[in-house]
């Protein structure tokens, strides 16, 4: 899994972690951290979901998500996502715990 941000910078999700990959300081970006997932299947039918954490949050424009799963002969492909809904969601985030 990888991403290309609207500014052209790229990140590859090679790290699997259940924790955020920094100690409170902003990480050097961009970073794509895989956060686990689940699924199953057999034969030719598989279903799998994976969570990821991306830093920094994308700016306005198009984000390209690149994927590949060589073990299942799932060739590299990509989709483009407009970031406006992501930015709108980010603007509506509110803290529920005191810092």
Contact 27, 17 (CB under 8 A): no
Considering Cα of 71, then 19, then 82, then 7, what sign does the dihedral take?
A: negative
- The two counts, helices (H) then strands (E), for the chain are 1, 7
Contact 30, 13 (CB under 8 A): no
pLDDT digits (tens, 9 = 90+) for 22-62: 667 777 779 898 887 888 888 778 888 888 888 888 999 99
Residue 76 DSSP SS3: strand
pLDDT at 8: 95
Domain ranges of the chain: 2-91
Closest C-alpha among 22, 26, 12 to residue 66 = 12
């Amino acid at each position: 899994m990888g991403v290309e941000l609207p500014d052209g910078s790229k990140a590859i999700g090679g790290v699997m972690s259940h924790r955020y990959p920094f100690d409170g300081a902003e990480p050097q970006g961009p970073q794509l951290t895989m956060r686990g997932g689940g699924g199953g299947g057999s034969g030719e039918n598989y279903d799998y979901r994976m969570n990821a954490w991306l830093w920094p949050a994308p700016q306005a424009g198009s984000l390209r998500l690149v994927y590949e799963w060589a073990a299942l002969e799932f060739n590299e492909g990509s989709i483009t996502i407009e970031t406006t809904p992501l930015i709108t969601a980010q603007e509506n985030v509110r803290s529920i715990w005191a810092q």
